[in-house]
Structure 1
Amino acid sequence: MDPWTVATVVGGAVGAVVAAPVVLGAIGFTSAGIAAGSYAAGMMSAAAVANGGAVAAGSTVAVLQAAGAAGLSGAATAAVTGVGAAAGAAAGAAGAAVGWLTAKIF
């Protein structure tokens, strides 16, 4: 694997792990609970309406709130790292393809 691809995979993985808690807080999944008027509050409301007034344990809203309140578990960190690495690999492959195509055209 070339150095550019390695760098984008590592950067994607690290970036995803660092960004996940920031993004969760920004959309309203905080350590103090779901922030009023936030995107997370809208998700919670929709989930409660769809489920007869309660948010189901293990639902997307419940999992995101748990991560926002306590941070990512080991399994969640691994999953986020994998997704970030895959995104980095895709970015690296796209960059390599553009470079190859540019070299062939010019």
Structure 2
Amino acid sequence: MELLTFFVVAAGAGGAVVLAPIALGAVGFTAAGIAANSVAAGMMASAATASSGGVLAGSTVAVLQSAGAAGLAGSTTAVVAGVGGAVGWLTATAAALLL
């Protein structure tokens, strides 16, 4: 692996881990709960309607709220880093093909 590719993969992995909690907060999954009038509130309303009034444990909304409130678990952080690194690698590979 070229040195530049290594750095792009590392930046993608690290950036994804740093930005994931920021993105969760930006869409409304906060430590204080789901923010009113946010994307998260809309997701929660849809999930509650679909399940006759409650948000099911283990659903996407429940998992994202848990991550927004308590932070990412170690296993989730590893997955986020892996996806970020893969995006970094794809970016470096595409850039190398274009140059």
Q: TM-score scaled by structure 2?
A: 0.98
- Residue of structure 2 in register with 1:46 after alignment: 46
- Residue of structure 1 in register with 2:58 after alignment: 58
Alignment: residue pair count = 99
When the two chains are superposed, the root-mean-square deviation of aligned CA atoms in Å is 0.5
Alignment of 1:1-106 (within 5 A): 1-99=1-99
Percent of aligned pairs sharing the same letter: 60
1:13-59: CA deviations, max 9, x gaps?
A: 00000000000000000000000000000000000001111000000
Separation in 2 of the partners of 1:52 and 1:5?
Answer: 49
**Structure label with greater radius of gyration:** 1
Structure 1's consecutive aligned runs of 4 or more residues displaced over 2 angstroms after TM superposition are none
Structure 1: runs of 5+ lacking an equivalent: 100-106
Q: TM-score scaled by structure 1?
A: 0.92
Separation in 1 of the partners of 2:7 and 2:92?
Answer: 8
One-letter amino acid of the structure 1 residue matched with residue 52 of structure 2: G
Separation in 2 of the partners of 1:86 and 1:25?
Answer: 24
1:47-80: CA deviations, max 9, x gaps?
A: 0001111000000000000000000000110110
Separation in 1 of the partners of 2:59 and 2:75?
Answer: 16
